Amino acid sequence: MFNKILSLLQSGSPVDNGARFTRVQVATCALLLEVAHSDGQYQAVEARIVHDLLAGMFTLPAEAIAELVAFARDHQLSSTDLYQFAREINAHFTIEEKLAVMEGVWRLIYADGSLDKVEDAIARQLATLLRLSHKDAIACKVRVLDEKR
């Protein structure tokens, strides 16, 4: 079983689930879910934000996004770190796409109107894993905060 999971993460082909989802889709969704669950709660507004972000990034229909979220959640729960997901994003996304992910991270964090220390720590960790400069990560945060005003 461990070898099967490892081969899925290391292979260049789409992941199982009828080959519906690419590894980068699963990785992106898993990172977003990690952020959404980081405060111990997964609220309806966070679920909507995850759905909207994935729909915008991957132009998937609603039912496919629901399947992707369930599939990625299983992978996220069984992972031991976020590096494997960030590595996939780094391999396939442009800097602009990675910045869009980071903006999504901040949207999820501020969905409840507050920033706690765990959320701040995960945002910093993800910015580093996605190889984004501190300046770029903070610019994403500021854009999200400006939208909320």
Exposed/middle/buried for 84, CB within 10 Å: 0-12, 13-18, 19+? middle
Sign of the torsion angle spanned by Cα atoms 23, 75, 62, 115:
negative
Across the range 52-73, mean pLDDT stands at 94
Nearest to 51 by CA among 37, 65, 38, 64: 65
The structural domains of the chain, with segments of one domain joined by +, span: 17-148
Strands (E) across 2-85 are located at: none
Name the residue with tokens 């800097």. Answer: 95
The two tokens of residue 37 are 């669950």
Provide CATH code, domain 17-148.
Answer: 1.10.3680.10
Going from the C-alpha of 57 to that of each of 15, 52, 70, the distances in angstroms are 18, 9, 17
Mean per-residue pLDDT over the chain, rounded: 87
Tens digits of per-residue pLDDT, 78-105? Answer: 888 899 999 999 999 999 999 999 999 9
Q: What is the pLDDT of residue 138?
A: 96
Q: What is the pLDDT of residue 54?
A: 96
Contacts of 46 (CB under 8 A, 6+ apart): 36, 108, 111
Report the percentage of the chain scoring pLDDT > 70. 87
d(CA 9, CA 109): 27
Task: Kindly state the helix (H) or strand (E) to which residue 59 belongs, with its residue range.
Answer: none
State if pTM tops 0.95.
no
Q: What is the pLDDT of residue 19?
A: 52
On the question of pLDDT at 131 being above 50, the answer is: yes
